[in-house]
Structure 1
Amino acid sequence: MKKLFSILFLLILVGCSGIEKKASVVKEVEKPEFRGVWIASVVNINWPKTVGIGKDVQKSQRQEFIKLLDEVVEMNMNAVVVQIRPAADTFYPSSFEPWSKYLTGTQGLSPGWDPLQFMIEEAHRRNLQFHAWFNPYRVTMKKEEVPISTHPAMLNPEWTFRYGGKLYYNPGVPEAMNYSIDNIMEVVKNYDIDGVHMDDYFYPYPVGEEKLPDWKTYLKYGKKFSIAANWRRDNVNKFIKTLNSKIKKEKPNIQFGISPFGVWRNYDRDKSGSKTKAGITNYDSIYANTRKWIDRGWIDYIVPQIYWNQGFKVAEYNTLVNWWADEVRGTGVKLYIGQAAYKVGSKGWEDPNELINQVRYNRSLDEVGGSIYFSIDSLIDNPMKIKEKMKKTVYKQRVEIPN
C-alpha cells in the first residue's frame, strides 16, 4: 500500500509540473515597460514627408504626424522619440539656431507655426511620452555642405572642424560644448517634454584612415592628458555631466537618456568588455565612455543599439543584452534595448519571430525595462507581417511606462 501511494504521489507531482511548465510557455505576461519608436527627421527619414511652407504644407505635416502617432497607439506602444535638432537646426522657434531645411526646404525659413508644441500636445493627448531627440555636434549631413551665412557655425568657425567632408562642432572647444547645452536647455525650459534623448553621435564615426582634425584644440585644452583619446572621452563626459546637472536643476522630472552604439568595448581590448568582435566600439572609436555615465548616474536611461540577431557570431544579441544588464545592475539607471526593426526580413533576420524572440529574451532579465525601435516606418511597412505578429504575441495590450 505504501509503495502504491508513493507511485500515485509521483504521478500527481509529475502531472502537475507538466501543467505548470505548459502554462509558463503559453502565458505572455505584459508588465509595465517602455515601448518607444524613433521618429527621425534628418533627411526626412520618417517625418515630415511633405516639405515647404504655407497652409497646405502645414496641414499635410500635421496629418502625417497624427497618422504616425495613431500607428504608435495601434501597435500598443507608449512613447515616441522625435528628432527635433537633426543637424544644428531646429523644429521649433529657437533663439540659437535656424529653422531646419528638413521642415521648410530652406534652412532658416520659418514654417509659420511651432511643430514641436503641436507634436508634444498630440502625443500627450494619446497618453504617449514625448522624448525630444537632439544631435549635439552634427552641423551638416552631406559632404562639403555649407550652412546659411548667419548660422552660428559659420559665424564661429573656430568652434568647428570638417571630417569626412562633413561639418561638426568640435567637442573639445568649451564654447561649442556650452552652446550645444544651451540649445537643449532652451527646449527643456520652454516645452513640456518627458525626456531629453541623444543617440550615438558625439565624436564622428571613423572614416577610413582619416584622423580627426583637432590636434591644435588638444594642444590648447588637453595638456593634462597624455593621449588625445583620453581628452576626447573627457570632453564627452563633461558634456553629459553638465547637461544632466542643468536638466535636473531646471526640471527634475525630465528623463535624460542616451542610445549609444551596442558595444562598449570588445573583450580582447578589455576583459570587462563584451565577448564580441565589433569593428567599432563606443570607448575606442567614438570616445563615448558609457560605463562612466552609468556608474556616475549622469543619465536616467540607456538604450544600446543592439542591432544584431540572436546567434550572430561577431556581436550576438543575447550576449550583449546580458552584458548591458550587468552594467546597469544596482545603479538605478534604466536599461531599454534599441531594436533593429529595419532589419526584419533581411539577411540573418529571415526568421519572422526574430524580433519577437528578442523582446521575450529582454523580458527574461529584470534589468531590461523595455525597447525602442528604429524606426517607426520599418514597423508601419510591416515586413513579414511583423506588426500583426507583435500584437498577437508580445504587445497584446497597452501598458504603462514604469516609474
Structure 2
Amino acid sequence: MLRVLLAGIALFALSGCALIPPAPEYVAPPAPREFRAMWVATVANIDWPSKPGLPVAVLREEMQRILTTARQLKLNAVILQVRPAADAIYPSQFEPWSEYLSGRQGVAPGDGCDPLAEWVKAAHASGIELHAWFNPYRARHASAKSPLAAQHVANTHPQIVKTYGDMLWMDPGEEQAAARTLAVIADVVRRYDVDGVHIDDYFYPYPIKETGDRAGDELPFPDQPSWTRYRQHAGLFAWRDRADWRRNNVDRLVRDIYSTVHAIKPWVKVGVSPFGIGRPDRRPAGIAGFSQYDKLYADVEHWLRAGWLDYLAPQLYWPIDREAQAFAVLLTYWSSENWRGRHLWPGLFTSRIDDSEKSWQPEEIRQQIALQRSSGGASGHVHFSAAALVQNRKGIADVLAKTTYVGAALVPSTPWVRPAGSGWLLAPRVELTCPSVAPASDGSDLCRVVVNAPDSDAAVASNLAALWLRYGNVWQLQATAVGRDGASIPISRDGEKLNLVVARLVDRYGLEGAETVQSVPAAGLPGRDTQ
C-alpha cells in the first residue's frame, strides 16, 4: 500500500513540475498513442545489412525494404544499432567503420555513403522515429573476422580492453571506457537528428564457463587491475564489495548518458533494454532465472527510481505460458517498479518465429501485444528483430497487419523532458484539393492535402503531423512527415464519405499543437479551413 501511495505522490509531483500549458481544444479526437518499434541489429549482420561487403545501392535497397515493412505495419519507430562493438556505421572521429558494412573494419562502405544519415532521413520521410542503439562496452564480437583497425580502441587504448572468452570488452571499471562511450554518444546526438539514444542488456558481459579442470565454474571477468587501483585511491568511502563497485560503475554510466543527451538535445529520448527478469530480492513469487543484478551488475530498478531513463524496454523473451518467466507477471512487475511513470515498452522475441521445431507461432506475439495493451502499465512494445517481420515468417507480418495494427498511432509523448513554459505549436497551413468525383479505379477519386508549418521555427520543432480524416462519422488517423517544405498527401475521397480533414503538428516531445480544420467540399468546389 505504501508503494502505491508513494507512486501516486511521485506522479503528482512530476505532473506539477512539467509546467505543460492547458491542451488546445480539438474538433477531432486526440491521437491514439502506442510505441511500435523494431530493433535493426547490425552486429553479425542479423538484420542490416544482410551480409558484409554489399554495394551501397543494395544497402539502400535493404534499408528501404525494412522501412517499407515498418510503414505497412504502421510501426512508428526503428531502433538502429549504430555501434555494435566499438565501431561505427557512420563516419566517426572516435571509432573505425564497422566491418559489418564493408567486410573489413576501418573501410568505409563507399560512394561517400553515411548510412546513419540516410537512415535518419529515410525514416523521418516515412514519419518514423529513428533511435540510435549503442553497445556501451563491447569491443569485438565473436562473429568478427577482419583485423582490428588502427583506430580501434584495443589499439589506441589497450590498457582498458580485456579479453573475455572469444570477445573483447572495455572494462567498465576504467574511467576512460565510460568517457569514450559518452563521447561517442554525444557526437552522434550533436551531428544527427536522432529521436532516441538506446543501450541494450550488455553491461558487464554475460558470464561464460571455464573449461578443463575447472569446467562448469564461471570464468571471472579480468578487472583485477582496475579494482585494485580503485581500492588504493578511493579512501574511506570506497566500496568494500566488488559487486557493489561494479554496479556503481554501470550506474554512473547510465546516469551520465541521460544527463549528457538531454543537455545537448532535451527532446532526444534515452532508453534501456535490459534482460527481462528483475532483482532476485524483488521478484514476484514463482519467477526464477538469470540475475542481471548479480551477473551483469545492472541495477535496473535503481535506474527507474532515479529517473535516468525515459523508457524501459525489458526483454520479455519467453512465451506466455512459461511459468518461471511468465510474460504477464514480469510485465506487471516492471510496471510496479516504475514509480516515476516513465514509458514501459517491453521487448518481444518475434525472431523466435523461424523454421525450427521450437519455433513460436504468430499467435504468441499477437497475444503478447494484447496483454501489453490490457496491462495498463505499458504503452508500447519493440520487436526483436526486423528480419522476422521483413521476411514475414509464418505470416507474422500479415497477422499483425490484419489484427493488431489496424490503425495508426503516435509515439507516446515525453512531457517530463520538455522545457518549462514551452508553448504549443501553432496550427499548420492546410490546402485541400478534390477533383470531380470519378470511378476510384482510375485514381481520380483521390483528394490531395498539403500541410505546411506556419513558420520556420515550427518546421524545425516538428517532423510530424497528425492528419485526421472523417469519413461519415468515423475518424481515421494518418501520421505523416512534415519538413521545411511541408508535405503533400494523397487521400481517398471514398466517394462522398470524406467530409472533414483536421491537421495538427506534433512537437519533438510528442505533444500535438493547435489544429486546422478543413471541410471537404462537394465535388469540384473549393474547401475552407478554420483554425
Normalized against structure 1, the TM-score is what? 0.87
Contact 1:306-1:337 within 8 A present in 2 as well = yes
What corresponds to 2:134 in structure 1? Answer: 134
What corresponds to 2:18 in structure 1? Answer: none
Is it true that 1:46 corresponds to 2:60 in the alignment?
Answer: no
Output aligned runs, 1:314-353, within 5 Å: 314-328=324-338, 330-344=339-353, 350=360, 352-353=362-363
Q: Aligned to 1:355, which of 344, 358, 365?
A: 365
For residues 247 and 92 of structure 1, the distance between their equivalents in structure 2, rounded to whole angstroms, comes to 19
SS of alignment partner, residue 50 of structure 2: coil
Shift of 1:31: 3.2
What corresponds to 1:121 in structure 2? Answer: 121
Contact 1:92-1:116 within 8 A present in 2 as well = yes
After superposition, the C-alpha distances for 1:307-361 in whole angstroms (9 at most, x for unaligned) are 0011202211111011011111x40311001001012366676554211111111
Q: Which range moves more in the overlay, 174-183 or 347-356?
A: 347-356
Q: Aligned to 1:75, which of 51, 73, 76?
A: 73
For residues 358 and 328 of structure 2, the distance between their equivalents in structure 1, rounded to whole angstroms, comes to 15
For residues 184 and 191 of structure 1, the distance between their equivalents in structure 2, rounded to whole angstroms, comes to 11
What corresponds to 2:105 in structure 1? Answer: 107
Q: Which range moves more in the overlay, 333-342 or 380-389?
A: 380-389
After superposition, the C-alpha distances for 1:155-177 in whole angstroms (9 at most, x for unaligned) are 21111111113111111000111
Shift of 1:378: 1.0
SS of alignment partner, residue 139 of structure 1: strand
For residues 277 and 376 of structure 2, the distance between their equivalents in structure 1, rounded to whole angstroms, comes to 20
Identical pairs, percent = 37
SS of alignment partner, residue 88 of structure 1: coil
Unaligned runs of 5+ in 1: 1-29
What corresponds to 1:217 in structure 2? Answer: 226
Contact 1:275-1:319 within 8 A present in 2 as well = no
Aligned residues: 366
Q: Aligned to 1:384, which of 382, 394, 399?
A: 394
Cα 1:156–1:193 change in 2 (3 A) is same
SS of alignment partner, residue 108 of structure 1: coil
Tell me the amino acid that sits aligned with residue 151 of structure 2.
Answer: T
Contact 2:352-2:360 within 8 A present in 1 as well = no
Shift of 1:388: 1.5
Question: Max radius of gyration: which structure?
Answer: 2
Shift of 1:276: 4.8
Shift of 1:275: 3.3
Tell me the amino acid that sits aligned with residue 84 of structure 1.
Answer: V
SS of alignment partner, residue 189 of structure 1: helix
What corresponds to 1:18 in structure 2? Answer: none
Unaligned runs of 5+ in 2: 1-30, 210-217, 414-531
Cα 1:150–1:384 change in 2 (3 A) is closer
Output aligned runs, 1:28-39, within 5 Å: 31-39=32-40
After superposition, the C-alpha distances for 1:293-317 in whole angstroms (9 at most, x for unaligned) are 1001011000000000112022111
Tell me the amino acid that sits aligned with residue 261 of structure 1.
Answer: F
Cα 1:285–1:49 change in 2 (3 A) is same
What corresponds to 1:21 in structure 2? Answer: none
Shift of 1:90: 0.5
Shift of 1:387: 1.5
Is it true that 1:394 corresponds to 2:404 in the alignment?
Answer: yes
SS of alignment partner, residue 113 of structure 2: coil
Normalized against structure 2, the TM-score is what? 0.66
Cα 1:114–1:233 change in 2 (3 A) is same
Higher fraction of helix = 1
Q: CA RMSD in A?
A: 1.8
Shift of 1:150: 3.4
Contact 1:159-1:175 within 8 A present in 2 as well = yes
After superposition, the C-alpha distances for 1:62-116 in whole angstroms (9 at most, x for unaligned) are 1110111001111111100000111111011111001111111111112232111
